[in-house]
Structure 1
Amino acid sequence: MTQMVIDKWGRFLALGVLLVIGGMVVIAMPLASSIAIALVIAAVLVIGGAIQLWHAFSVKEWSGFLWQLITGVIAIIGGGAVYYNPAFGTAALTLVLAAVFIIQGISQVMFSLKLKPHDGWGWILTAGTISLLAGLCIFFEFPLSAAWALGLIVGISIIFNGWSYIAIALTARAVSKAQQTPGHA
């Protein structure tokens, strides 16, 4: 624990509380959050694609010029499609999320079975099973899951991020109090 964190534990606590509240807001409005996420990704794709096109034309002599050009055009078209129709983008991202969870879950379950005699294998099996079930729930609820899945996942992530700052703040506060007690060296 650095002295700066100990001295400013209240700021870490405030950040954590704000993130938890923000995560709850995202979860409370999952459709709006999912569409907002899709729009941000659309903007990143369009901007990234434009930069990639600029870069491709600045190194025309490079053997990867054509592939970089194609990749940039695809990113711009994909980002534009998501921006033009955020519901489509949200649906597409939801399917990608479901696929990632399913593949990750299967991978973690298989990995846990390889580790089976070692301590901790059960935690990996549990995590893999949860990922697999989450992916299947999202997939089998599709297209309805497009209205809630992205917002829920992002909201949960923000809440856990907030709780991590709260934990850091409370630990720093305990260290600060210990430093202030008489006889502390």
Structure 2
Amino acid sequence: MTTYDGSSRSRAGNLSAPPLWVCILLGIVMIAAGFLVLGDVVLVTVISTMFIGWISIAAGAFEVIHAFWTKGWGGFVWQVLLGILYIAFGAVLVSQPVVSALILTYVLGLLLLISGFVRVLLGFSHWNDAGWIMLLSGSFGVLAGLVILTGFPMTGLWVIGLVLGVDLISHGIAWLTYAWRPTARTAQRN
């Protein structure tokens, strides 16, 4: 019979938890980066769009190269076409970052709206299993989607940067919370 103690939950596999100072430093750096991003969300939106474009170009190139490595797979043509599509998409994002940011923001608004509606429906259908959490999450998704779509095209200039900044700050707060949880402090003492 195997028994588990509470301290093993803080580890993934055999990896040990990071030192306390690393968690604190990571949290502070991410929060600072988040506030820096929030300082100019339009610039960060354009930079993020170009970054997504370059990543798409690299992924497309790898997809085409991979198609030639695995010719016997049977999906050679589809893999090459997919790679070319990635490269073309990335080239558009890099060459027209402002227009691309508008398009990405519009798609994000639609996805938030649709996924929010789905979560609201799931919340009602699973009400007995803490469905109110899903309902609340879905309501925020619908609200965020509506804010993006009703303010379009102006929201396209700042939403991606705002989301990135808020995500960095919340991730930094999560690291600080992780650092100061009681099990982390007792593990550091041992």
Structure 1 partner of 2:119: 108
Deviations 1:34-71 (A, max 9, x none): 11111111011101111111122233344211111111
Question: Residue 106 of structure 2: which of 92, 95, 110 is its match?
Answer: 95
1:133 aligns with 2:133: no
- Choose the corresponding residue for 2:45, options 8, 22, 34: 34
2:79 to 63, 68, 72: 68
- Quote the sequence identity (%): 25
Q: CA deviation at 1:9?
A: 1.0
- Give the one of 101, 125, 131 matched to 1:121: 131
Q: Unpaired segments of 5 or more residues in structure 2? A: 1-6
Distance 1:178 1:89 in 2: 47
Amino acid in the other structure paired with 2:38: I
Give the TM-score of the pair, scaled to structure 1.
0.87
Residues 9 and 172 in structure 1, CA contact (< 8 A), matched pair in contact too: no
Which residue does the alignment assign to 1:152?
A: 162
- Note if contact 1:46-1:76 (Cα within 8 Å) is conserved in structure 2: yes
- Deviation (angstroms), 1:10: 2.1
What is the rounded CA distance, in whole Å, between the counterparts of 2:181 and 2:142 in structure 1?
Answer: 34
Separation in 2, partners of 1:164, 1:62? 43
Structure 1 CA distance for aligned equivalents of residues 150 and 88 of structure 2: 28
Counterpart AA for 1:26? V
* Closer, same or farther: CA 12–69 of 1 in aligned 2, 3 Å: same
Partner residue in 2 for 1:18: 29
SS at match of 1:142: coil
Q: CA deviation at 1:5?
A: 4.3
Q: Secondary structure at the match of 2:104?
A: helix
Report the Cα offset of residue 119 of structure 1. 4.8
**Separation (CA, whole Å) in 1 of partners of 2:147 and 2:181:** 37
**2:64–2:80 contact (8 Å) kept in structure 1:** yes
Q: CA RMSD in A?
A: 2.3
Contact (CA 8 Å) 2:20, 2:185: kept in 1 or not? no
Aligned residues: 178
| Deviation for aligned residue 1:155 | 1.2
Does the CA contact (< 8 Å) of 2:53 and 2:93 recur in 1? yes
Contact 2:57 2:87 in 1 (8 A): yes
- Residue 105 of structure 1 aligns with an amino acid whose one-letter code is G
* Aligned equivalents of 2:71, 2:188: Cα separation in 1: 63
Separation (CA, whole Å) in 2 of partners of 1:49 and 1:175: 45
